[in-house]
Amino acid sequence: MNSISWLHLTDLHVGMRDQDWLLPNFRENLFEDLRRLHDLAGPWDFVIFSGDVAQTGAREEFDKATEVVDGLWAHLRVLGSTPFLIVTPGNHDLLRPPIIDPTLRAMVHWHEDSQVREEFWSTVSSPYRQLINSAFGNFSHWYKQLALPKPPNLLPGALPGDSSCVIEKTGLRVGLVSLNTSFLQLTHEPFEKRLDLDVRQLVSACGGDHVKWMSGLDVALLQTHHPRQWLHPSVQARFDSEIYPPGRFFVHFCGHLHEAAALNFSIGGSALRRLRQGPSLFGLEHWGDKQKRIHGYSAGRLNVTSTEITETIWPRLAQPGYAGHLRLAADTGYDLNDNGAVVWSYSKASEDGDKDTSRSAPNRDAPTHLGEERGRTVLMLEELSESGARAALDRVPRMQFQLEPHHRRIRRVEQATCEQHLQAQRCVWILSDWGLATDSFVASVVASLSARAGIRELDAFAIQCDEASNIEAFRGQAHRQLGLPLQQFLSLAASLPNGVLVLENVPTDLLEDRMPDSGATFDDVIRSILDYCPEMRIILTTRSTPPGRLPYS
């Protein structure tokens, strides 16, 4: 049996506010956790770093990052590992050009202007390519001069950070492709579903023929900063058909969202696609005088035989101790075995495109198929069908209604108006201070929608929002109440034909909040849900008037 091991890091954000005085304690915590984990998961052959090394892309931030990673590699050498470092840039690793730059103004219309796109890809000396090279100049200089081990056969691609390499160990040839998904994020506006990733990046990074390049590999891996859902819808389709068709890459590593996720899914019986999304190594988000810290990473290993590939990941997450301190430990949001790991085994035949026969290795209380999945963060999606989605959502609590016959006779006009809005726009605000009567009103509306659909009851889910003063807190509330991250809940709920999501008691502070990174608002969150879940209806209740909140279209 041959094996290869790695660390997956992402989102360090050197230069972030308050990081200087928090970093020493975190570094000590990280080094101690790596020491404990090395005996189980090491030695590590390479480190995948999925972007956002810096915070604003400034030269001094990368200088500081050099000190951080030099110290990390010195510690890894003491442990017995001398891994290669492979980095792709994130949206914080570029210097944003002045908004008055005419080239930038043209690139803002990227998806609408085919001439800009064509000149960008066809002409290396075009002003658009020069703008991107300049924006990522500090990142490119940093990685080039970094005196750490890098794969000797590293091939650069079309854009800064695009590359490929082959790592050979004990008879294994593992290819890793890194592609820049951040090159359009040149302003501070929200960019979800606005990014691009072109197959020409893949072709160029692999020396002109990606299919030939991969033909001699045992396993191919893909790294980007952003997950697939941040790409423009048309780009998502090309990603599925041209960049990551089933069976091309063994797994796709990414970061950006600061939360861990592990998804395995097959559509129509195809070979599995796999996503391993890393938590932020140093996430620190502010609202008012409060802050939220997110620290995590993962280690991984592939064991390869003539008939089977076994994947093991050791997910790590900072958690508060009873004494009030943070410590890195196994992320219990995953179904872990006694070694704090998640293990999957896959038939090599399935990796060649035959029907998948993957299974979870025997973890503690581990699920053996989708219907028994209990993990909050790991979802084995064998097929995104309605039945599969229902099975995965089986343990997510549904909204409980106490509907009496007389409830349907109260506020009939308002109920009819509410139903019309839901039918036409799929989203409605309910403004009231009725207390429990609001629940009865919502129950009546949902019951009426069920009757119209000709089914016994809709799949109705609820998130209580009254303690969510900002978007990050809302995501945390959703995670705790649903039992899995909002992103993964929506990935499953998108397959339901008649779903309802009730967001209860939405506070004014949440409506006025903006994400510090992207500038996204709560309205943007709602629009994203409606876009991502085309059959989902959303009911929002509040006690104060939400001005200008409709329509969400």
The answer to whether the CB of 249 falls within 8 A of the CB of 213 is no
* Cα separation, 459 vs 446, whole angstroms: 10
Secondary structure letter of residue 87 according to DSSP = E
Pairs from 408-412 (Cβ < 8 Å, separation ≥ 24): 408/444, 408/447, 408/448, 410/437, 410/440, 410/441, 410/444, 411/441
More confident residue, 469 or 405: 469
Give the number of other CB atoms < 10 A from CB of residue 464.
15
More confident residue, 117 or 294: 117
* Cα separation, 37 vs 79, whole angstroms: 10
Share of the chain above pLDDT 90, in %: 55
Q: Report whether pLDDT(102) > 60.
A: yes
What pLDDT does 412 receive? Answer: 75
Kind and range of the H or E run holding 471: helix 471-482
Lowest mean pLDDT among 86-95, 354-363, 474-483: 354-363
pTM: 0.71
End-to-end CA distance of the chain: 54
What pLDDT does 437 receive? Answer: 63
Give the number of other CB atoms < 10 A from CB of residue 189.
11
* Cα separation, 186 vs 180, whole angstroms: 13
**What's the average model confidence in pLDDT over 37-41?**
95
Query: Mean pLDDT for the chain?
Result: 86
Report all structural domains of the chain as residue ranges with CATH numbers, in order of start.
2-94+136-383 (3.60.21.10), 405-542 (3.40.50)
What pLDDT does 292 receive? Answer: 66
Q: Report whether pLDDT(13) > 50.
A: yes
Residue 285's pLDDT band (cuts 50, 70, 90): low
Here the tokens at position 395 are 């343990």
Residue 512's pLDDT band (cuts 50, 70, 90): confident
What pLDDT does 515 receive? Answer: 79
pLDDT in tens, 175-225: 999 999 999 999 988 899 999 999 999 999 999 999 999 998 999 999 999
Secondary structure letter of residue 228 according to DSSP = G
* Cα separation, 7 vs 281, whole angstroms: 12
Residue 371's pLDDT band (cuts 50, 70, 90): very low
Beta strands in 339-498 (DSSP E): 342-347, 359-360, 378-381, 427-431, 459-464
What pLDDT does 357 receive? Answer: 47
Q: Report whether pLDDT(3) > 70.
A: yes
Lowest mean pLDDT among 125-134, 340-349, 501-510, 543-552: 543-552
* Chain center to CA of 525: 15
